[in-house]
C-alpha cells in the first residue's frame, strides 16, 4: 500500500490550538513521509482614507514580515527534524483562503486547531475550523487542546 498522505496542510493563526494542530500535522507528515504546508491567511491591507496610508502600510508590512518569519521558523524546525515543510501566506478570509489553497495545491489532509467554543460565544465569534470542515476538498483533522495541555483530535 502506498502512502496515505502526500501533502498535509495545517492552518495557523499562531494561537495555542493552532500550535497543537501544527505538532499533530508535523507528526503525521513524519509518519507518512508527507510534505507539510503551514498556511496563514493574512487579511488584505485595509484602506483608511482618514489615516495616512504610509503609516497603515508600514504596520501592515511589518505584520506580514512577522507572519512570514514565524512560518519560516516553524518550517525550518520541521525540516531539521527530517520533515519536508514550507510556510505559505494566503490572502483573504481565513476559511475560504485555506480551502481554496488546499484544493489548488492538492492537499490530502487539512489539520486545523479549534478553541472548542460553544454556545453564544461560538454563535457570535463563529468557527473558522467549522467553515473549513464544511467546505474542504479533502478530509479534515480538527485538533483541540485538552485540559491537560496535550491535544485530542477528531476526523471530520
- Write out the CATH class of domain 7-155: alpha beta
Task: List the chain domain ranges.
Answer: 7-155
User: Tens digit of pLDDT for each residue in 89-130?
Assistant: 999 999 999 999 999 999 999 999 987 655 544 444 457 888
What gap in Å lies between CA 94 and CA 91, rounded to an integer? 8
Higher pLDDT, 37 or 121: 37
User: Tens digit of pLDDT for each residue in 56-78?
Assistant: 778 888 999 999 999 999 999 99
pTM for the model stands at: 0.83
* 141 touches 154 (CB < 8 A): yes
SS3 13: coil
Higher pLDDT, 115 or 152: 115
What gap in Å lies between CA 125 and CA 86, rounded to an integer? 29
Amino acid at each position: 500500500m502506498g502512502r496515505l498522505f502526500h501533502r498535509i496542510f495545517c492552518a495557523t493563526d499562531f494561537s495555542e490550538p493552532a500550535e497543537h494542530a501544527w505538532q499533530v500535522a508535523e507528526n503525521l507528515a513524519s509518519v507518512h513521509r508527507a510534505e507539510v504546508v503551514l498556511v496563514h491567511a493574512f487579511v488584505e491591507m485595509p484602506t483608511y482614507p482618514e489615516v495616512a496610508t504610509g503609516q497603515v502600510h508600514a504596520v501592515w508590512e511589518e505584520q506580514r514580515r512577522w507572519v512570514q518569519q514565524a512560518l519560516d521558523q516553524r518550517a525550518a524546525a520541521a525540516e531539521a527534524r527530517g520533515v519536508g515543510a514550507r510556510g505559505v501566506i494566503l490572502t483573504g478570509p481565513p476559511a475560504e483562503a485555506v480551502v481554496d489553497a488546499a484544493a489548488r495545491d492538492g492537499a490530502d489532509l487539512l489539520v486545523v486547531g479549534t478553541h472548542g467554543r460553544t454556545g453564544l460565544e461560538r454563535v457570535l465569534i463563529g468557527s473558522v475550523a467549522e467553515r473549513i470542515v464544511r467546505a474542504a476538498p479533502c478530509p479534515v483533522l480538527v485538533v483541540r487542546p485538552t485540559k491537560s495541555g496535550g491535544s485530542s483530535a477528531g476526523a471530520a
